[in-house]
Amino acid sequence: MTDDLLQDLWLHRSADVAVNTLTIRADRVTVHAATTGGEAGCPSCGTVSTRVHSSYVRRLDDSAAGRRRVVVELRVRRFRCREQACPRATFVEQAAGLTFRHGRRSQGLQTALQQLARMASRGVV
């Protein structure tokens, strides 16, 4: 699988995410990716920061691929807030269209599950 195909498969979800590799096993596909944006906005005060404090890997469940579970292992960065008066010293960046705060699944899977729940509550499914 080429890097271009990987990017085409995943970058439509977030322009600031680069897919590095895929690991394909019988029951699971793992997408190894990292955020690439140069800055992030503090969720408390809105100040944009480029000062990276640290990074770590978030594991996100994503929509299945056939019968395989899909997990995104996304390296995200923790930034220092530059605003002295802000109560939040550091914050973790979000990848638009892929992550949301404290989420353990991708935004796409979250949206699909919410739509299924709404359909179930109306007796559609």
Residues that bind Zn ion (CB under 5 A): 42, 44-45, 81, 83, 86, 88
Degrees (nearest 5) of the Cα angle 41, 4, 19?
40
Alpha carbon separation from 94 to 25, 38, 47 (Å, rounded): 28, 12, 14
Which residues neighbour 46 within 8 Å (Cβ) at sequence distance 6 or greater? none
Q: Minimum distance between the CB of residue 64 and Zn ion, rounded to whole angstroms?
A: 37
Q: Minimum distance between the CB of residue 96 and Zn ion, rounded to whole angstroms?
A: 19
Q: Minimum distance between the CB of residue 124 and Zn ion, rounded to whole angstroms?
A: 42
Q: Minimum distance between the CB of residue 102 and Zn ion, rounded to whole angstroms?
A: 18
- The residue (of 61 and 83) whose beta carbon lies closer to Zn ion is 83
Under DSSP, is residue 4 helix (H, G, I), strand (E, B) or coil? helix
Degrees (nearest 5) of the Cα angle 63, 104, 41?
110
- The residue (of 34 and 86) whose beta carbon lies closer to Zn ion is 86
- The residue (of 6 and 42) whose beta carbon lies closer to Zn ion is 42
- The residue (of 47 and 110) whose beta carbon lies closer to Zn ion is 47
Contact yes or no for 37/49 (Cβ under 8 A): no
